[in-house]
Amino acid sequence: MEFAGSFRQYSFVDVMHSIETNQRTGRLAIANGNLRATIYFASGQWLLAERSGPGQLLAQQLVKAGLVTAEQIETACSVPFAQAGATPDVQLIRTLLSSRLITQDRLQAWAVNDAIALMTVVLGWQNGEFRFEDLAGLPQGRVALPLPASPLLAMALQRVQVPSQPVHTSLPVSPDAIIDFVEVDANSGAAVQITRDQWRVLTAVDGLSSLRTIAQYLRAPEPVVLHLASEMVTSGVVMVVSQHGGSPG
């Protein structure tokens, strides 16, 4: 079913929630004047964002973000930096990883920050249009890093502090914090509600491992794990038992 309209009809928050809730796979094209982007999703998870305009080649983005230098890319790929854009993204990332110029953790952290940065811009649009095309696949050779959409959106909302959108303020936790389950009275009748992404974090909670260790174990971006843990601490699902991280069990 086609899902399209303007951001006057549906807010960007509503569009994102609809894609995630319905676990849609495809691409979301958004535009506001000359500003355009395409975001790819798989089962409601954010995979990749493409922006229009100069300076959007992956090699250029990685250099701009400070992950590598142009000289390092030239050495690793054996081509002048001006020609690095012709290297498929998958090949470029594999080369940089095998050369140990970047790590998977740094790459994921960059992807998280890149997604939040784009969301922050779009949340400020007063106008614009969107169209979601179901089952549209990634362009050939592009790199996809699946990220849960809700935590990204929540962090973007907190960054721009949109007054018209309800933002749930979570208690902050550090990467070295250790969390454990809160005892729940089975006779209280109170329902405990958790999201799918929160449940994934809970599967790794053992009362011994730090949130940094849990993020590494799940191969999930650390900022996302911290945000999910903060939400669960705030809602009383888990509690912080130590601020000093432990070793993997």
pLDDT tens for residues 107-123? Answer: 888 899 899 999 999 99
- Classify residue 200 as exposed, middle or buried by CB count within 10 Å of its CB (0-12, 13-18, 19+): middle
Q: What percent of the chain has pLDDT over 90?
A: 38
Residue 174 φ/ψ, nearest 5 degrees: -95, 160
The residue ranges of DSSP E strands in the chain, in sequence order, are 3-6, 26-32, 35-42, 45-51, 129-134, 178-181, 238-242
Judge contact between 205 and 177, C-beta under 8 A. Answer: no
pTM of the model: 0.71
Residue 215 has pLDDT above 60, yes or no: yes
User: What residue spans of 124-195 are helical by DSSP H?
Assistant: 149-160
Which DSSP symbol is given to 52? -
**123-136 tens-digit pLDDT:** 988 899 999 999 88
Span between the terminal Cα atoms of the chain, in Å: 46
**pLDDT of the residue at 24:** 94
Average pLDDT (221-227) is: 85
